[in-house]
Chains A and B, each alone.
Chain A
Amino acid sequence: MSLSPSLKTPFTDFTGAVVSHQWGSRCRDMELKALDCLEAYGLTRGVTKCEDLITDFQECSLRVKEVSRYVAMRSERERQYHAGERTKENRYAPPPKPDSY
């Protein structure tokens, strides 16, 4: 994966950390661990050695796998309904209480 800008100038150094997850996001710790690892090993070795930390941070931040899960579940439910395996009453689950999330 490409984790550094293609052209490194002082401007990319200044603006690299302007906005980050350290501002109270839920991915704060994962970002810190991944970047500490990268800083310890450098970029070239770090991309291979810290791969787990980096991919976990990316998953936390972008939630690609989580969203794919939901898409898969949703499309499976619709497929089951249109194939007749689910009745109209059974199509969806009862909704949760509105103030519980």
Chain B
Amino acid sequence: MATSASAKKQDMPPEGGYKPISYKRIPAKTYFSGWALIGGYLGMTAAAGFLYYLNCKRLHRNEIEMRSGRFAIFPLLLAERDREYLKQLRRNRDEEAELMKNVEGWEVGTYYGEPLYKTVDKDKLIDPMMQGYYVHTPWKEFNRRAFIRQWS
């Protein structure tokens, strides 16, 4: 019950009343439309695909280069390994001759005079077992090599 002579401030609506309330929808801002997105995706994929293709060609060339290099040096490495193998066999034979020189009945390369094979040429190289390749070395060395065979 307000008195007409009151100077109290009251919270009244502004002059002319409130403005109308806008209840229109405000959708989010679209930076790209749907078609623009699809087109951008395809364009980006095409460009990336082209760059990928260029890189693939370079990798292919690199692989060919590495493979050619390996083919070129493989016979050399194989020959080196074979030469070292034969040299070691000769060293083994000499070591055996020196070791068993005082054992009676022993001839180098035989078992107390009996050759290993009767129908095989004496000139034929018979590859020894791994134990025989390492027979004059400590067991640790043989173990190291046998470990590689066991795990490969």
State the A residues within 8 Å of B (CB).
26, 30, 33, 52-53, 55-56, 59-60, 63, 65-70, 72-74, 76-77, 80, 92-101
Contact = CB atoms under 8 A, between A and B. Distances in A.
Contacts of B103: 72, 76
Contact of A73 (B81, B120, B127, B135): B135
4 residue pairs, one from A and one from B, having the closest CB atoms: A93-B136, A95-B141, A100-B84, A96-B88
Interface residues of B, number: 37
Contact of A65 (B114, B135, B145): B114
Interface in B48-84: 81, 84
A80 B112 CA distance: 18
A56 B118 contact: yes
16 contacts: A26-B127, A30-B119, A56-B117, A56-B120, A63-B129, A66-B111, A66-B128, A69-B116, A70-B131, A72-B111, A73-B100, A80-B99, A93-B137, A95-B141, A96-B88, A96-B91
Contacts of B106: 72
Contacts of A98: 144-145, 148
Given A66-B129, A93-B91, A74 B135 contact: yes
Given A59-B116, A93-B91, A70 B135 contact: yes
B76 to A, nearest CB: 14
